[in-house]
Structure 1
Amino acid sequence: MDRVPEVAVVGAGIVGLCTAYALAERGTTARVYESGVPGHGQSSGQSRIFRHAHDDARLVEFARQGRAVWDEWADRLGAELISQDGVVALGGPVPERLRILQDAGGIPVRTVDNAELHARMPLFADYHGPAMLEGDGGAIRTRVAIESLANALGDSVVTDEVISLHPTGHGTVEVLSAAGREEYATAVVCAGLGTARLARNVGLSLPVQPAAHVRLTFQVRGAPPERVACLQDSSGEFGEVGVYAAPYPGNSRYAVGLSQTVEVREDGSFADPSALVALNDRARAYVSHALPGLDPEPVEYLHCWVTSLPWSEDGMAVWEADRIFFAAGHNLFKQAPRLGRALASAAMGEELEENLWPAAALGQPR
């Protein structure tokens, strides 16, 4: 009979896969439960932005350390996981975020003028406001990352839904899934929208705020540019103050989303179903004004859930109860390898990093 792995990881999105991979680095076996296809929940899509810029200097440092893990794993997995074209940020927040990044040290960042902005973002309209470039930022190759990690983990990833889990009272954790019942030394829950529900089973009330989000993908007009940066536009110059965008591999398509989300009721229903449609329309309108290098008719739509914490849209935290760890937050893709290593360390009996405890409110401007 096969030996049961030491750690149960619930959820095969990017955080769960990174946690299991980090455990494997240290010689610890894990079983990763996923009810669907790995990486097709909140980790869906072809790209995300890797950026260091945050309003909390602690999160800047976390991202700086995380970039090193991304690079290490890219070498080991033999795949490009982050593009080399940088991230351009526009608008009023630029001076303060530039200061925070420069104070952190070791992060290539500088202001750019209109000419360099156009060279870095040839798809973009004319713009003369505050702008900065993060040289070590870029587009995360999300599908490559998910597939590379899932392939490396092999049959450790199982298609099964976790219904409940609980401490046994004798130092282990029991996991009840749709197809089984197993005991583990510990468990790490990275189940996105399902994390708060599973946490309630062990007496934890996570302040997760579920919402829905829209991201549209557009075709580049003509030949794809050789270089195109990711974009964060907080300027309001083109009708929106919270826009982010990232290229697909090959630069022939560009995904554009608004940071605004649509709130949902506790049962997951929409108080105003038309609000999600309105976000679609606003994203299309933004592209028609700000990105003349794109055909304004979307070629792909992505509607997905987000799970935010109340102190910041970039906030994240880890809760623990009797050797069961629950990770929650928003915009976690870029942080996943670094967070995965922290969760793996905690699962192996080390102290959870102080900044990851909920009381630290990581991501909150200070």
Structure 2
Amino acid sequence: MDKKTALHHFKEHHFRPLLETELDRLEAQFHHNQAGLISDFKQSFKDLCIHIQSMQQQGLKEPIGYIHYSFLRTQILEQSYLYMVEAYSADWYEDHSDCKLTYDASWAYARMSVMSETLEQRRKIYMGAINSADVERLILESAPFFHSFVDSLIRLAIAESVQTPAYQAIHKAKRLLIRTGEYRDISENLYVWDQEPLPADEVIEKLMQSNEEEPYVYENLKLLSLPHLQQFQQDLRYNDFSYSDLRGIQFDSCILMGTRWQQANIEGGSFKGCLLVDADFRYSHLKGVNFGEASGRGDRKDGRRTPGLCGLRFEHANLDGADFTNVHSFEHAYFEGASMHGTRVPRIYQQHWKLSDEQQQSIAWTE
């Protein structure tokens, strides 16, 4: 068997099945230990903010414009799963005043160590056609799949993390972005803060001008008054609409994956036919909202687990009279503390959702 054939066989019959198994195990651990993981992250974030504040008090750090969580492939090969967490001024990489700590993500990457040891043993049956360097390359290829769990955890934890006094005390630039990705490579926004809210007229104009080539995504749309806004088939993924007045909005068949709506007023609105996977509606006012035909379907192909790890979050929201008729893939939805008087829900979800006795009795179950 030549090397090319051996590698193909090794990937198909050993690497990929093992990767799926380990990711499934990690996903189960992620959901089971989520509260503790969030608590640990919040403490780590608090430590970073205290460090930033200390440097700023000494005149060593300008107002913060970027906080970046980076994974490093070299450390992964050394089985050191510490993320580098760096705070920059608005100059980003041009800011040479080092302000960094680490975040221990071994909870997510420990399964990679198991994979590496297993694959190292299995390669030996190929009689020298596959070497340790080949195994290392495959392990590095899988790194983004494990990183997606860290990404999802930060998304779940960051809204509460930025409410802490430690974060509030640091001096910030006019815009602050919290991002994650590979070190000094492609990264994405997890949280956006602006010193001054964007004018509602400007936001509406940008929303109306957005298209498939230039979607309006990853933006801070908090604290806006946009009642009765109408959007059709727009890509608005990962925008943050928290604390906004959105009464009566009509979003039809829009891509809203990873959007935040915490403490927003969306009474009487509609998300008919929208993709809502990983959307966060915690503490929002959703009385009478129409979720009909919306989808929470995540990505489960070739090792990918995101979007879909965060689930749909409705904890402590007011869902009285809301309509979930004909929603799809809403199995991973969370409703702790939510008011659900007269909420229309297909009975199929009764076996999937963890509901209190009061919620069970308040819901208007449909067939």
- TM-score, structure 1 as length reference: 0.24
Structure number with the higher helix fraction is 2
Quick check: which has more Rg, 1 or 2?
2
Structure scoring higher RCO (CA < 8 A, sep ≥ 6) equals: 1
